[in-house]
Amino acid sequence: MNRRTGAAAFMAAALFIASGAAAQERPRISIAPAEPVRWDLAGHVGWLGSNKSDIGADWDDFYNAGLGGVSAGYYFTPHVRTDLRAAISSEGRIFDNQVVPVAGQPFPSYRTREHFFQTATVGASASYQFFENQWFHPAVGVGVELIRERHHVFSPQQFIPSRDPVPVVIPAETGSAEVSYAVRPFVTTGFKWYVSERAFLRSDLRSSFSTRGVDRFVWSAGIGVDL
């Protein structure tokens, strides 16, 4: 290594060290608390809307249900967190029509059926939380949820008028419950609004997707605490 090459290497090393030092001396006012929060726990209630366009009639292809659950979050950094959430819904209902052929009748008759759904979900999400160590933190995130859905059908007794003096009577019928599982991606947005150093109110909207488009829509609100 001649003198010129050595000088160039020295300059390069000096610049590298200087740039590193400059980067480390970059002025910032730290707003991170001495002991950063890692975990939070929350409980929530909410509303669930679920797309059942594959089953329901055009005029009733979404069911509504109440929802309740718990969540636990872990902060990787002050802004990046993951959230595990479990929730269970009340029973929702949609109606559809079933075509019933009646002997001797030239036109079809319809029978109304009620579909009952009840879901339990477990989901994991990764979200970005805006601001640090403030009272109000909006957040956006994405995730995936496993949905267990219990579905059963009830067909009430129905009288179908006919040309005979005695109407056709179709007795009530209760179908057996079916349980199905599905995995759905979702996007979410919401906020944490602190009411003390560690206790907070939270609310969020979550929408999951399937081949039907928007599959489920959940609004929830709850209270929680940083651990």
Partner 1 sequence: MRTAIILTLLLSLVSYPALAQTPAPAQGDVWRVFTERLDVGSRIKVRMRDGQRVTATLIQASPDALLVQPRTRRPVPVQRVSYDDIASIERDDQRGISGGKAVAIGVGSGAGAFFGILLLLIATLD
Task: Quote the least distance from Cβ 135 to partner 1, whole Å.
Answer: 5
Task: Quote the least distance from Cβ 26 to partner 1, whole Å.
Answer: 6
| Beta strand residue intervals within the chain, DSSP E | 39-51, 62-75, 80-89, 92-100, 109-129, 136-155, 158-160, 168-170, 173-174, 178-194, 199-210, 213-226
Closer CB to partner 1, 17 or 31, in the complex: 31
Closer CB to partner 1, 52 or 85, in the complex: 52
Q: Which amino acid is at 41?
A: L
Burial level of 136, CB count in 10 A (0-12/13-18/19+)? exposed
List alpha helices for the chain, DSSP H. 3-24
Task: Quote the least distance from Cβ 69 to partner 1, whole Å.
Answer: 15
Closer CB to partner 1, 92 or 143, in the complex: 92
Closer CB to partner 1, 35 or 54, in the complex: 35
Residue with tokens 């608390």: 33
Task: Quote the least distance from Cβ 221 to partner 1, whole Å.
Answer: 6
Residues in contact with partner 1 by the rule CB under 8 A: 26-34, 45, 47-48, 63-66, 90, 92-93, 133-135, 194, 197, 203, 219, 221
Task: Report yes or no: 144 and 186 within 8 Å, Cβ to Cβ.
Answer: yes
d(CA 172, CA 157): 4
Task: Quote the least distance from Cβ 16 to partner 1, whole Å.
Answer: 21
Residue 156 tokens read as 């009430």
Closer CB to partner 1, 34 or 99, in the complex: 34
Task: Quote the least distance from Cβ 63 to partner 1, whole Å.
Answer: 6
Task: Report yes or no: 141 and 188 within 8 Å, Cβ to Cβ.
Answer: yes
Closer CB to partner 1, 7 or 32, in the complex: 32
**Closest of 153, 159, 160, 157 to residue 172, by C-alpha:** 157
